[in-house]
Amino acid sequence: MLPATLRFWLFDTLSVKTMRFVSAVPTRQAEGLTKQVYEMIREDFFKNGSLTSRSKVPELMAAIWTGGREAMLVEDKVDRTTKDAISAVLSQINDCPYCEDMLVSLVHAGGEHEAAGDIFEQNVLPETNARLRECLEWVRAIATPGNDYIPPNPFATDQLPEVFGTLMGMSDINRFSHVVMQDSPVNAPFGLRTIKALALRLFGSELEVTRRLTLEPGRALSLLPPATLPEDMPWAKSNARVADALARWTAAVERNAKSVISNAVSRTVDSALQDWNGEQMPISRSWVDAEVAELQGADRDIAKLAIVLAKAPYQVDASMAQGVLGDDRDEERFIRILAWASFTGARRFVQIVAAKSAAGLSTGKCYGLAA
For residues 237 and 137, membership in a common domain is answered with: yes
Residue 371 lies in a domain: no
Backbone angles phi, psi at 362, to 5 degrees: -135, 135
Residue 4, pLDDT above cutoff 80: no
Number of residues that this document lists for the chain: 371
Residue 368 lies in a domain: no
Q: How confident is the model at residue 370 (pLDDT cuts 50, 70, 90)?
A: very low
**Sequence-separated (6 or more) residues with CB below 8 Å from residue 324:** 298, 301, 302, 305, 334, 337, 338
For residues 71 and 198, membership in a common domain is answered with: yes
pLDDT, tens digit (0-9, with 9 covering 90-100), for 89-117: 999 999 999 999 999 999 999 999 999 99
Q: How confident is the model at residue 8 (pLDDT cuts 50, 70, 90)?
A: low
For residues 234 and 294, membership in a common domain is answered with: no
Can you give the pLDDT at residue 150? Answer: 86
**Sequence-separated (6 or more) residues with CB below 8 Å from residue 275:** none
Residue 333, pLDDT above cutoff 70: yes
Which of 252, 283, 316 delimits the end of a domain?
Answer: 252
Which of 219, 252, 285 delimits the end of a domain?
Answer: 252
Residue 187, pLDDT above cutoff 80: no
Distance CA 286, CA 92 (A): 24
Residue 5, pLDDT above cutoff 50: yes
Q: How far is CA 233 from the centre of its chain?
A: 17
Residue 88, pLDDT above cutoff 50: yes
Residue 370 lies in a domain: no
Q: How confident is the model at residue 6 (pLDDT cuts 50, 70, 90)?
A: low
Can you give the pLDDT at residue 43? Answer: 93
pTM of the model: 0.93
**Sequence-separated (6 or more) residues with CB below 8 Å from residue 358:** none
Q: How confident is the model at residue 316 (pLDDT cuts 50, 70, 90)?
A: very high
pLDDT, tens digit (0-9, with 9 covering 90-100), for 52-63: 999 999 999 999
Residue 371, pLDDT above cutoff 50: no
Average pLDDT, integer, range 301-310:
98
Residue 176 lies in a domain: yes
- Contact at 8 Å (CB) between 112 and 85? yes
Residue 233, pLDDT above cutoff 70: yes
Can you give the pLDDT at residue 18? Answer: 82
SS3 153: strand
Residue 304 lies in a domain: yes
SS3 11: helix
Residue 135 lies in a domain: yes
More confident residue, 334 or 16: 334
Q: How confident is the model at residue 186 (pLDDT cuts 50, 70, 90)?
A: confident
**Sequence-separated (6 or more) residues with CB below 8 Å from residue 347:** 168, 232, 233, 250
- Whether the CA torsion 365, 164, 177, 138 is positive or negative: it is positive
Residue 350, pLDDT above cutoff 50: yes
For residues 287 and 350, membership in a common domain is answered with: yes
The lowest-confidence range among 106-110, 136-140, 235-239, 358-362 is 358-362
Average pLDDT, integer, range 165-193:
86
- Contact at 8 Å (CB) between 150 and 158? no
Residue 276, pLDDT above cutoff 60: yes
Residue 329 lies in a domain: yes
For residues 230 and 266, membership in a common domain is answered with: no
Residue 366, pLDDT above cutoff 70: no
Which of 252, 283, 311 delimits the end of a domain?
Answer: 252
Residue 364 lies in a domain: no
Distance CA 50, CA 91 (A): 12
Helices (H), the chain: 4-16, 32-44, 49-52, 58-68, 80-93, 97-109, 113-121, 130-143, 160-180, 193-207, 240-257, 263-274, 297-311, 318-325, 331-359
For residues 101 and 175, membership in a common domain is answered with: yes
288 residue type, one letter: V
Residue 364, pLDDT above cutoff 70: no
For residues 212 and 273, membership in a common domain is answered with: no
Average pLDDT, integer, range 128-150:
92
What's the mean pLDDT when you consider all of the chain? Answer: 92
Nearest one of 153, 191, 256, 180 to 17, comparing CA atoms:
180
For residues 219 and 349, membership in a common domain is answered with: no
The lowest-confidence range among 145-154, 217-226, 276-285, 354-363 is 354-363
Number of domains in the chain: 2
Q: How confident is the model at residue 301 (pLDDT cuts 50, 70, 90)?
A: very high
Can you give the pLDDT at residue 358? Answer: 85
Domain that holds residue 191: 4-18+30-252
Distance CA 105, CA 203 (A): 6
Residue 368, pLDDT above cutoff 80: no
Nearest one of 326, 272, 279 to 294, comparing CA atoms:
272
For residues 274 and 219, membership in a common domain is answered with: no
Backbone angles phi, psi at 181, to 5 degrees: -115, 110
Can you give the pLDDT at residue 70? Answer: 98
The tally of CA atoms less than 13 A away on the side-chain side of residue 248 is 26
Residue 249, pLDDT above cutoff 80: yes
For residues 234 and 173, membership in a common domain is answered with: yes
The lowest-confidence range among 150-159, 234-243, 342-351 is 150-159
